[in-house]
Every structure is written in C-alpha cells, then in structure tokens.
Amino acid sequence: MRWTPGGLSSDVEDRRGDSGGGGFGGGGLGIVGFLILLVISLVTGRNYIGAYFSSGGAAHTQQSAPRPASPQEDRSAQLASFVLGDVQDTWTQILARDNIRYPRAHLVLFRDYTRSGCGTAQSATGPFYCPADQKVYLDLGFWDELKRFGASGDFAQAYVIAHEIGHHVQNVIGIERKVRAMQAQNPQAGNQLSVAMELQADCFAGVWAHSSTDRQITDQADIKTGLQAAAAVGDDRLQRMGRGYVTPDTFTHGSSEQRMSWFNRGYTTGKVGACNTFAGSGQ
C-alpha cells in the first residue's frame, strides 16, 4: 500500500492508554460491578475479581500503569487511521451519488477491553462495528492473530477496517435494521441472514479496494493479501482450526471461499449494486 505514516485523525478515539477502558470508577464495587468483573474474568481468563479485592478495591479501584505503545503498534494505529479516512471519503462520494449523506463513523483503539454502545468490547471478540454508537472497536493485538491465521501485511489490516466500515454503510442505508427485523420475525433464518450481512460487508470492502487501486494506493499484490485475509477468517477455516471439524449450519460470517468470492466481486466491479448477497441468501 502507498501511504505515509502520520498522526491519528479526529475520527479515531485512542483509548490504548486507558488501562482497561478506564476502569469502573471509584467507590464500592456493588453487585453490578461485581457481576461485570465476573463476566470479564470468565471471558478473558484473567482474575479481575481477585485483583480488585487484593488491591483494597472495596474502597477504590486500583488501575495499573498504561503500557507504552511500541513503534510497531503506533505504526499500525496510523495505518488504521489512514485507511479509515480513505474508506470513509470513498463512501461519502459513492453515497452522495444517490443523495445519501454519509455520517462518519469513529474507530476506537483499545487494549484488552473497553466500553461500547453494544456492551463491553473485548480483544477476544476481535474487531466489530457497533450500530448503537456508530463506532468500530479494534484492539491492535488482533493483527497478531491475523498473522497466526495466515494473513499479514498492511492490506490485510486495511481489509478488516474496510469490512467493518461496510457494516456502517449497511447501517446508514437501512440494511442493518431490516435484517435485524427479519431475524426477529424468523429466528431460524438468523444465521443465514447474518452470513449475508457479513458477505455484503466483504463485498463493500472490495468496492473500496477497487477505488483505491484506481487511485494507485493499492495494487494486485495488495488485493492478493486481502483475499488471503478474507480466507483466513472464514467460518470453515476457524472451526477446523478450533475444533477439528466444520458445521456449516452454524456459520455466521461465511466460508473462506464465500468471503473471497464476495470481496473479489466488489473489487472487480466497483459497484454497490453487485453486492446483493441477500438475493441468493449469501450462497
């Protein structure tokens, strides 16, 4: 990718130095706070409850000193900021053709966990978009996981961000609300609709990639990396790695082949209209 490292844009909220998203505040823990710590401890495998009481937390919450960012982490943050800006500028122009105003999403960078409009954001869940507050949440440590899955490089990271902004586009144009309503009416189709949503976000990421290649920000080598990233996070690949077998009925994001196919469709056409994953139920 062709880009120049710089600062973070105003669309980025950098919470990496907040020591777990700012803690839970002073004063007594209370039953709600205890339950929050319990859930986080179970999910993350870290004993936050023990740490709370061993530090005299009945009177206050002890926070550890923020971990300084490495040069590599800062570079990743700057790359994320650049990609976020370019993706959003692209969608501003695309939607303006249909007289749709594009409200810019924010990218929240955090470590371990933080608060979001959709509940607690945790590094273990990976990057996600929250429609309630129109923000993308990202722990930069996810890039290490992406490498472990066989995808690395700047464009692999760019693909992930473009995919999450694809969900913001779905929210802006009303697709997200329609799908949630359909899932509520027909719970049995919930996973199938979820797959269609995710594949469309992949296709939208490809639409941006088409634009970035036209502007010589990316090239064919980058697109190959993006396809590798899409394949790396396919449900079938992740299930096979995690438990040794695949159950397609439980897919929520789509297979590696599907994810690559829809990203490539967006990339080769550059057209939003080519991203109707719902016409064939995402298959």
Instruction: HSE, CB side, 13 Å, CA atoms: give it for residue 279.
Output: 4
* 69 occurs within a structural domain: no
More confident site: 169 or 45: 169
173 and 44 within one domain: no
- Inside any domain, residue 2: no
Are 174 and 50 within one domain?
no
Q: Which residues of 234-248 are buried (b: 16+ CB within 10 A; e: fewer)?
A: bbbbbbeeeeeeeee
pLDDT score of 56? 41
- Any domain includes 198: yes
Q: Does 192 have pLDDT greater than 80?
A: yes
Number of domains in the chain: 2
* Domain with 58 in it: 24-62
In angstroms, the CA 107 to CA 5 distance is: 17
pTM above 0.75, yes or no: yes
**Which pLDDT score is estimated for 273?**
94
Residue 55 lies in a domain: yes
CA–CA dist 269, 203 (Å, integer): 10
**146 with 58, same domain?**
no
Name the token pair of 143. 């890039």
Question: Does residue 47 sit in the same domain as residue 84?
Answer: no
Does residue 167 lie in a domain region?
A: yes
58 lies in the same domain as 84? no
Q: What CA–CA distance (Å, rounded) separates 264 from 230?
A: 10
Query: In a 3-state reduction of DSSP, which class is residue 254?
Result: coil
- Would you mind telling me the total number of residues written for the chain in this entry? 283
pLDDT reported for residue 65: 55
* One domain for residues 164 and 261: yes
In one-letter notation, the amino acid at residue 229 is A
User: Would you say 104 and 32 are in contact if contact means Cβ atoms under 8 Å apart?
Assistant: no
pLDDT value of position 54: 42
Same structural domain for residues 266 and 152? yes
